[in-house]
C-alpha cells in the first residue's frame, strides 16, 4: 500500500522543526560565555564550540538535514568538505543524510598542510578535479579557513560552487568570501541563537 505524499506545508513544517531542534541543541550545548580568543586573534564574549554537537549522535543527523536544505539549490555539486577539523563532521553528516535521501554527495577533507609522506596530498577523499564542490565550515569568523581550503582545492582543479557554514558569527566571513567571488550560505545566525 502506498503512503500519500506529504503536503508542501507538512514538508516545510518538518524543515522548520529540524532547524529549530538544531538551533536549540547549539544554544543549549555549544555556546559558552566568558572571555575567549578566537582563531583570528580577536576577543569575544562568547564561543560557539560546534564540535560539542557536530560529533553528537543526536545532533549530527540534524546538521546533515539542515545543511542539505541549505545547499539544495546549488546545482551540480559533486562533493562537500573543508579545512580539517571543523568541516569534517559537517561533511560526514551531509554525506550520510544525503545518501539517506538518495543524493550522491561525496565528502573530502582539506589538510592544513600537504602530507610530508605517502602521496603528499592536501585534499583527501575522492578526486575533485573538474568537479563542483561546496566548501564547508562549522562556525565562521573571518572566512580564513574556507579561503585556505579554497586555495588547496583550486590547486587540484576543483570548481568552487559556494561556501556553506552552519553558524555565521557575523564578524566578516560573509564579506570576505563574497569579496573573493564565492556565494556564501549560512544556516544559522547569531539572532537565531539569542546572541545579539
The answer to whether 130 and 159 have CB atoms below 8 angstroms apart is yes
Cis geometry, peptide bond prior to residue 97 (ω within 30 degrees of 0) = no
Residue 113: pLDDT band (50, 70, 90) is: confident
Residue at grid coordinates 553558524: 167
Contacts of 14 (CB under 8 A, 6+ apart): 6
* 3-class state of residue 162 by DSSP: strand
CA distance 11 to 147: 34
| CATH, domain 8-189, list 3.40.50.2300, 3.30.1300.10, 3.40.50.2020, 3.30.300.30 | 3.40.50.2020
Taking the alpha carbons at both ends of the chain, their separation in whole angstroms is 50
pLDDT digits (tens, 9 = 90+) for 39-60: 778 888 999 999 999 999 999 9
Kindly report the length of the chain. 196
Contacts of 74 (CB under 8 A, 6+ apart): 132, 134, 161, 162, 183, 185
Q: Residue 120 pLDDT more than 80? A: no
Q: Where are the domains of the chain?
A: 8-189
What's the pTM? 0.89
Q: Residue 166 pLDDT more than 80? A: yes
Amino acid at each position: 500500500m502506498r503512503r500519500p505524499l506529504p503536503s508542501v506545508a507538512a514538508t516545510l513544517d518538518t524543515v522548520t522543526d529540524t532547524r529549530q531542534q538544531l538551533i536549540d541543541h547549539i544554544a543549549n550545548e555549544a555556546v559558552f560565555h566568558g572571555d575567549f580568543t578566537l582563531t583570528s586573534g580577536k576577543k569575544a564574549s562568547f564561543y560557539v564550540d560546534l564540535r560539542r554537537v557536530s560529533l553528537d549522535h543526536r545532533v549530527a543527523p540534524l546538521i546533515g538535514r539542515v545543511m542539505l536544505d541549505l545547499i539544495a539549490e546549488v546545482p551540480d555539486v559533486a562533493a562537500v568538505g573543508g579545512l580539517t577539523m571543523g568541516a569534517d563532521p559537517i561533511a560526514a553528516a551531509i554525506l550520510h543524510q544525503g545518501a539517506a535521501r538518495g543524493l550522491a554527495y561525496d565528502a573530502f577533507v582539506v589538510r592544513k598542510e600537504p602530507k610530508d609522506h605517502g602521496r603528499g596530498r592536501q585534499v583527501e577523499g575522492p578526486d575533485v578535479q573538474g568537479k563542483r564542490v561546496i566548501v564547508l565550515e562549522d562556525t565562521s569568523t573571518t572566512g580564513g579557513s574556507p579561503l585556505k581550503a579554497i586555495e588547496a582545492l583550486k590547486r587540484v582543479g576543483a570548481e568552487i560552487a559556494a561556501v556553506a557554514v552552519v553558524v555565521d558569527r557575523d564578524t566578516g566571513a560573509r564579506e570576505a568570501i563574497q569579496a573573493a567571488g564565492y556565494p556564501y550560505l549560512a544556516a544559522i545566525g547569531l539572532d537565531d541563537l539569542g546572541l545579539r
